[in-house]
Amino acid sequence: MKASDIMTQAVITISGSATVAEAVKLLKDKGLRALIVEPRHSSDPYGIVSETDIVYKVAAHGHDPKSMHVYEIMTKPCIVINPDLGVEYVARLFSQSRIRRAPVIQGGLLGIISTSDILRKSDFVEKPKELFLEDRIDVARAEARTICKEKGDTSPDCAAAWDIVEELQMAASDQRSKDKEASEKSSFEVYCENNPNAKECRIHDD
């Protein structure tokens, strides 16, 4: 699954020069937890102002939201997400940068993605996706070679080490095929759908 599959498309923008009171009103009226601050010119970055910014930086100090401005508390530039990024990598990016939501950008603002979207709409419970399998296969393979050199090619330790490599490779190919299923049908499958009676498309049960 990609960021664009689970992002929230309803997104509201605000100007950095608006007051915090105006931002609070927008958040309340629209039932949102963050507003996006649009770039002011073509090379200006995106910004974000969240519920947390307002509570931590305004309410917590008893400042008057009517006399404070969005630019005083916003995060700009903010981390932005590419719509094609895999959901598991969005989760990892959020975890490593300690953020909870970010705008999804590609040639403009497409939506916003949050920890709630990941929890509620992604398939990580049904299909947990292990990360960096290819890297782990490389390491396991190197380890297997070392073990077999030390203990002999016919030793049980050597066989066990290659079993680990085999298991990881199977997991990787399994994930790749799942991704393929999810992303697109093969041209052969499309052909058979369009020509269900073609000879090549018959399924034999025997």
Question: Interface residues with other proteins (CB under 8 A)?
Answer: 21, 24, 27-28, 33, 51-52, 54-66, 87-88, 91-92, 94-96, 100, 115-116, 118-120, 122, 124-125, 128-131
Select 22 or 143, whichever has its Cβ closest to other proteins: 22
For residue 131, give the nearest of 98, 170, 92 by alpha carbon: 92
Cis, bond preceding 77 (omega within 30 deg of 0): yes
* Cβ nearer to other proteins, comparing 132 with 188: 132
Written as one string, the DSSP assignment of 61-112 is GT--TTS-BHHHH-BSS---B-TTSBHHHHHHHHHHHT-SEEEEESSSEEEE
Q: Measured from the CB atom, is 155 or 177 closer to other proteins?
A: 177
**CA 100/CA 113 separation, integer angstroms:** 8
Q: How far is the CB of 146 from other proteins (least distance, A)?
A: 27
The least distance separating other proteins from the CB of residue 48, rounded to whole angstroms, comes to 15
Minimum CB distance to other proteins, residue 20 (Å): 8
Residue 37 or 114 having the CB closest to other proteins: 114
The C-alpha atoms of residue 174 and residue 180 are separated, in whole angstroms, by: 10
For other proteins, the closer of residues 42 and 97 by Cβ is 97
Q: Which amino acid is at 110?
A: L
Which residue has 């940068």 as its token pair?
97
Shortest Cβ 40–other proteins spacing (Å): 26
